[in-house]
Amino acid sequence: MANITDISQLDLTKQYTYADYLTWWFEDRVELIKGYILKMSPAPLRIHQKISMKLSWRINTFLLNKTCEVYTAPFDVRFPKKNIKNHHKIFDVVQPDICVICDTSKLDDLGCIGAPDLIIEILSEGNKNRDIKKKHALYEEYAVKEYWIVFPKEQMVQVFRLENLKYGLPDVYELKDEITSSILEGFRITNDEIFN
């Protein structure tokens, strides 16, 4: 298949695979959920980037000399069904704002294949529905152990922890609250540190 350089060349009602995704050379960043293209918002607001930098720096510092690794967007996370890693059989590809992978056998030159242990999404006006509903369901389906949703406007963080293959109600952290992680044992950060 020839490389596609303009998203308008694609039928957005059709399902695609990761093999198709690899042929796209247009400027728009996209994700695939259940094979359907979801265009990502244009460059996020400065506050989004500031929060992303603070969180990724703190996590990266915490992980020094540990086996887990942290990555920030753009970084492809592919979710294969039944461990079938054939590009033509993968229909879910996302670019989380931040992800932590502790099983480094999931890492390859293209990114991560399989569920990261921790994913953090920072909400923007254009991605609220995707992160709160679609990605929440996707991450639960593929057993991402911990999923944080950061709400910049509300200065709040929701942390979902996987128990019995389901996310229950989130732990909600507001200003001055200290956030801990069941994945990164010993990691602590306050909301004040994230938002101020």
Q: Tell me, yes or no, whether 117 and 160 share the same domain.
A: yes
Q: Tell me, yes or no, whether 26 and 90 share the same domain.
A: no
Strand partners, 148: 120, 159
Q: What is the pTM of this model?
A: 0.94
Vertex 44: Cα angle to 135 and 176 (nearest 5): 75
Helix (H, G, I), strand (E, B) or coil at 58: helix
Phi, then psi, of 103 in degrees rounded to 5: -95, 95
Rg over alpha carbons for the chain, rounded to the nearest Å, is 17
Confirm if 87 and 22 have CB atoms less than 8 A apart. yes
Does 187 fall in a domain? yes
Q: Tell me, yes or no, whether 33 and 52 share the same domain.
A: no
Per-residue pLDDT of the chain (196 residues; tens, 9 = 90+): 578 888 999 999 999 999 999 999 988 889 999 999 998 877 788 999 999 999 999 999 999 999 999 999 999 999 999 878 899 999 999 999 999 999 999 999 999 999 999 999 999 877 777 778 999 999 999 999 999 999 999 999 999 999 999 999 999 999 899 999 999 999 999 999 999 8
Q: What is the CATH number of the domain that holds 163?
A: 3.90.1570.10
Residue 190 is part of which domain span? Answer: 46-195
Q: Tell me, yes or no, whether 12 and 98 share the same domain.
A: no
Q: Tell me, yes or no, whether 71 and 22 share the same domain.
A: no
Q: Distance of CA 41 to CAs 28, 73, 130, Å?
A: 9, 13, 11
Q: Tell me, yes or no, whether 34 and 78 share the same domain.
A: no
